[in-house]
Amino acid sequence: QVQLVESGGGLVQAGGSLRLSCTVSGRTLSRYGMGWFRQAPGKERAFVAAINWNGANTDYADSVKGRFTISRDDAKNTVYLQMNSLKPEDTAVYYCAADSNALARAVVPSRTKSYDLWGLGTQVTVSS
């Protein structure tokens, strides 16, 4: 059974950095497109960043462009989200997601329904 486990969340001051990790077990990471989403209290889950199956293409929400970087290390079965210049509005639970249909896609998806495997999330809190 495929499992996604996020780690690296925590409490950080505004302007600080965190690196989230998502480790996939049960199947090799290659051929999966991977995404990061976040959900703040009282809000819907929102797209943050995504990377295609071979790492050649990435996409970011406008709110994080220039501050966040998504990357993948298939040898470690892990996807990362480097978050710099964090703001209080980045506070949310961050979820990792996998797209098992990535090889059939021409673009990196940003919709939650394009992803069929999800982790349980990791809390990121940015204090002002």
Instruction: Give percent of the chain above pLDDT 70.
Output: 100
Residues 6 or more apart whose CB falls under 8 angstroms from that of 95 comprise 6, 36, 37, 38, 39, 45, 118, 119, 120, 121
Q: Which residue has the tokens 């980045």?
A: 90
What is the predicted pLDDT for the residue at 21? 98
Note the residue count of the chain: 128
Q: Could you report the per-residue pLDDT of 73-85, keeping only the tens digit for each?
A: 999 999 999 999 9
Number of C-beta neighbours around residue 32 at 10 A: 28
Q: Could you report the per-residue pLDDT of 60-115, keeping only the tens digit for each?
A: 999 999 999 999 999 999 999 999 999 999 999 999 999 998 888 888 999 999 99
